[in-house]
Structure 1
Amino acid sequence: MSTLTKSREEAAQTVLIPRVNLLPPEIAEATRFDQMKRIMAASIVGVFGVVILAAVVASFQVSAAQSELADAQATGTSLQNQVSQFTDVPKVFAEVQSAQAQLSSAMGNEVRWSTYLGDLSLTIPRNVGLTSMTIRQDPTAPVTSALGATGIATVSFEGQASSSKSVATFLDSLAKQKGYIDPYFTNATKSTGADAKNLVTFSASVTVTDEAKSGRFTQKASK
């Protein structure tokens, strides 16, 4: 017997048994409904978890934002307190400027006479001696020199010299001083008599100009 014939006989002997679903339709439908409920429950749980996670993240973000806002408000309060400490600065600055202006007005014509006295002691001729030196200065009243120039003060000298030439030399030394103009003598008398030493008694004056001002207070007020 061939192999093909044997296979055909075995196939003929195979009996097909039909599959019959004995479950009622209601039970099958209930089973499917339960499966759908489980799927929906799982979906709801998943969605609820996502919502909770989003709420937690949002809560952290809100907390961080509130913390940053609190820090910013604290910084603003601190800066405002610092600013309030300097509210009087403009007033104080204005008072300082006013005081400087008053000082400049009161001392703007200051002449450092000590400097001029020191220079005078170094430049006066050896054969000239001074008996007095008078300074006349009025900030509200300018002076006029013998030659018509305007100045801020007048310095008058009285003294004795060995000769009229020595008096002229003294006047020349005054003319070389910074801030002095138009030196001239108002009187010169030569002594006579048995006890006289042929000395010339003289009176002289010089006009002081703005160039003699120290400028100390006006410079400070202008800065």
Structure 2
Amino acid sequence: MVSISAVRSAISRLQEAPARVRAVRQEHEAQDVELRNNPQLSDTYRRQLRKELHEVTIATPDQVDMDLKRIQTTLTSPAPADTRPSVDQLLDEQRQAKAWGRAERLLGAGTSPLEVVKDAEQATDLATLRALRTELPTWIVATTHGGATHEERVSAATSAKRLVDLALARTLPEGIERAALRGRLQWETHAPMVGVEMEHARRLLEGKTADGLGVAISLRYMSADAQALDTLTV
């Protein structure tokens, strides 16, 4: 089973990865400019030094990629098994079934999913939040108005699941279950940011055109999304 300290370490490495890739790319650009503009170097020696610099730098994204695979394994591992006595698990299932019945009636009466989730979080109602996590996405897909496409229904269900996960991540008591959930949310949020930086760096290092403005805009939106996790430390 993954430990809380392992999750904490993986999150730290994940959050540092974009800056690490960006720093390597910027350092390469600075050193390459210095080599190209050094009048004391012969053309042959300059080409050799630039080639060596490129070979060393181009390996860094691959090293980061390998580390990301290890981070992903840690942060997306299955939730720890419930080792409580079966009677306690059965009672929890019954509580969640009743909680979903109440929530479904509220939803059917016009209460928005956001309100239902928010009320459960404010009441620290873990039974309702767990039930919503299981049932709400399916309910949304089944009840979204007929004009919506399948993709729109799935998108709405995915957004609802994330809403519930964030509420649970803020509400669960300290322990491995909370750490595992917070770790997975951090991966889902920050991994795409690392991917954008990696692709940008690879294109530049390979001498291809890279859309710097597009990268900046993408990262800005992703960073805004990541702010929802700022207080969810492990």
TM-score tier after normalising by the smaller chain length: under 0.3
Which structure shows the higher strand fraction? 1
Which structure has the larger Rg over C-alpha atoms? 1
Normalised to the residue count of structure 1, the TM-score between the two structures is 0.26
Normalised to the residue count of structure 2, the TM-score between the two structures is 0.25
Which structure shows the higher helix fraction? 2
